[in-house]
């Protein structure tokens, strides 16, 4: 149940994650270094290694979690980072006929825990906004409405509409899944990602109807931008995606081999980034843009749970770990960072974070790897 915190002067943060999440572990280490107390909520542990309770009594509501590596006292929390909420994993011992019922009950219980976890804390991102902000349709519509340049886009499972769109943009259409995915075979790996598509590439109509996709007019790129924004802080990284053939459609296809350097956003684009975040109700987001040879900034997406440490690793000049930790500690949607050369860096904690991840993986339930070959893996 809700109890007094163990150290009244320490800020406490709940971070939803999985054992091998570098971002969650490294940020937790940085919070510890700053005197705060992070608590990792490893969702896959529930219900086998994690027990939860919610009690309503005498007009009061309390909850708690008990499990491996959790402190004896869970609530209250000053901040919550919805880094990577991970679905529960049911024990294999359940009879197959019982699994649908157990899945429904677990899902309902965990949803209640999230709703009650820390109603007065600072959330990154707010729970009611998270699902809406993750919707590609919602964010594309909001981005176009406020004035971002958005490529002609069709989200559909209608073979006729898809055929018409491909004919309209013949030879210049790309396909994107709503979520990157992959299949691991005995000898090969198939990855579903961004690719060029023409009518002859489409599967049979019954398959096309079963799997809605995103079809988009291809944008001519000079380079790409990754923009990380939280509070009123914003950092832009230029990715020279056109330097090698395999990354020209999507810079992620080249992995860490592409050069990255700091970039400046035009003030109008910076204002639109913050306006879109306000429209979506989020305080943190990672934006992806293409910049055309004519200098136009074209919006692709904003990820409310995006990765950012890879940017600082590739270009240490772009400081992201330190300002993000200070943002969590400040607990303000209007946060602005004052650069500090002595502030903690990704390079300072990366090794310790990797070791802590291995320790966590040995003691906890590992979440299944749904995505292969993308930054979301």
pLDDT in tens, the chain (377 residues): 344 444 446 899 999 999 999 999 999 999 999 999 999 999 999 999 999 999 999 999 999 999 998 886 677 899 999 999 999 999 999 999 999 999 999 999 999 999 998 999 999 999 999 889 999 999 999 999 999 999 999 999 999 999 999 999 988 999 999 887 766 655 555 566 788 999 999 999 999 999 999 999 999 999 999 999 999 999 999 999 887 766 777 777 666 678 899 999 999 999 999 999 999 999 999 999 999 999 999 999 999 999 999 999 999 999 999 999 999 999 999 999 999 888 999 999 999 999 999 999 999 998 875 433 334 33
Which helix (H) or strand (E) is 79 found in, with range? strand 79-81
CA distances, 238 to each of 100, 243, 244, 258, 279 (Å) = 46, 12, 15, 10, 25
Q: Does domain 152-217 have CATH number 2.40.50?
A: no
CB 123 within 8 A of CB 82: yes
Give the C-alpha distances (Å, rounded to integers) separating 176 from 21, 27, 181, 204, 287: 25, 31, 11, 18, 16
- Strand partners of residue 56: 61
Of the candidate CATH numbers 3.50.50.60, 3.30.470.20, 1.10.3430.10, 3.30.1220.10, the domain formed by 219-304 belongs to: 3.30.470.20
Asked whether the beta carbons of 16 and 85 are under 8 A apart, the reply is: yes
pLDDT the model gives residue 124: 97
Cα–Cα distance measured from residue 290 to residue 276, given in angstroms and rounded to the nearest whole number:
17
| Distance from chain centroid for Cα 31 | 20
CB within 8 Å of 111: residues ≥ 6 apart: none
CA angle 68, 70, 72 (to 5 degrees): 120
Residue ranges, CATH 3.30.470.20, the chain: 219-304
Cβ(303)–Cβ(280) under 8 Å? no
Residue located via tokens 């270009």: 315
Q: CB neighbours of 255 closer than 8 A, spacing ≥ 6?
A: none
CATH 3.30.1490 domain span(s) along the chain: 152-217
pLDDT, residue 374, reads 34
Joined together, the tokens standing for residue 159 give 């073979």
Q: Which of 329, 322, 277 is nearest to 299 (CA)?
A: 277
């Amino acid at each position: 149940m809700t109890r007094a915190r163990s150290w009244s002067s320490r800020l406490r943060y709940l971070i939803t994650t999985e054992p091998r999440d570098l971002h969650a572990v490294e940020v937790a280490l940085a919070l510890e270094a700053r005197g705060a107390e992070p608590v990792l909520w490893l969702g896959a542990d529930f219900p086998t290694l994690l027990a939860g309770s919610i009690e309503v009594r005498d007009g009061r509501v309390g909850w708690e979690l008990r499990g491996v590596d959790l402190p004896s006292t869970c609530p209250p929390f000053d901040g919550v980072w919805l880094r990577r909420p991970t679905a529960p994993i049911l024990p294999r011992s359940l009879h197959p006929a019982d699994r649908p019922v157990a899945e429904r009950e677990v899902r309902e219980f965990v949803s209640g825990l999230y709703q009650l976890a820390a109603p007065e804390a600072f959330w990154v991102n707010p729970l009611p906004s998270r699902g809406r902000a993750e919707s590609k349709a919602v964010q594309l519509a909001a981005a176009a409405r406020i004035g971002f340049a958005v490529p002609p886009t069709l989200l559909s499972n209608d073979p006729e509409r898809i055929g018409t769109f491909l004919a309209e943009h013949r030879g210049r259409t790309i396909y994107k899944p709503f979520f990157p995915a992959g299949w691991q075979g005995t000898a090969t790996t198939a990855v579903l990602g961004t690719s060029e598509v023409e009518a002859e590439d489409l599967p049979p109509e019954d398959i096309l109807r079963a799997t809605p996709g995103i079809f988009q007019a291809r944008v001519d790129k000079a380079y790409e931008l990754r923009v990380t924004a939280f509070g009123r802080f914003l950092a832009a990284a230029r990715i020279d995606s056109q330097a090698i053939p395999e990354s020209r459609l999507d810079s992620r296809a080249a992995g860490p081999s592409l050069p990255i350097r700091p970039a400046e956003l035009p003030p109008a684009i910076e204002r639109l980034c913050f306006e879109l975040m306000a429209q979506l109700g989020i305080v943190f987001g990672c934006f992806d843009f293409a910049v055309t040879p004519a200098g136009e900034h074209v919006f692709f997406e904003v990820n409310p749970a995006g990765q950012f440490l890879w940017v600082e690793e590739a270009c240490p000049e772009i400081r992201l770990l330190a300002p993000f930790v200070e943002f969590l500690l400040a607990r303000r949607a209007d946060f602005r960072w004052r650069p500090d050369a002595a502030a903690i860096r990704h390079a300072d904690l990366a090794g310790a974070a990797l070791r802590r991840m291995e320790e966590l993986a040995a003691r906890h339930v590992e979440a299944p790897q749904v995505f292969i070959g993308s930054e979301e893996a």
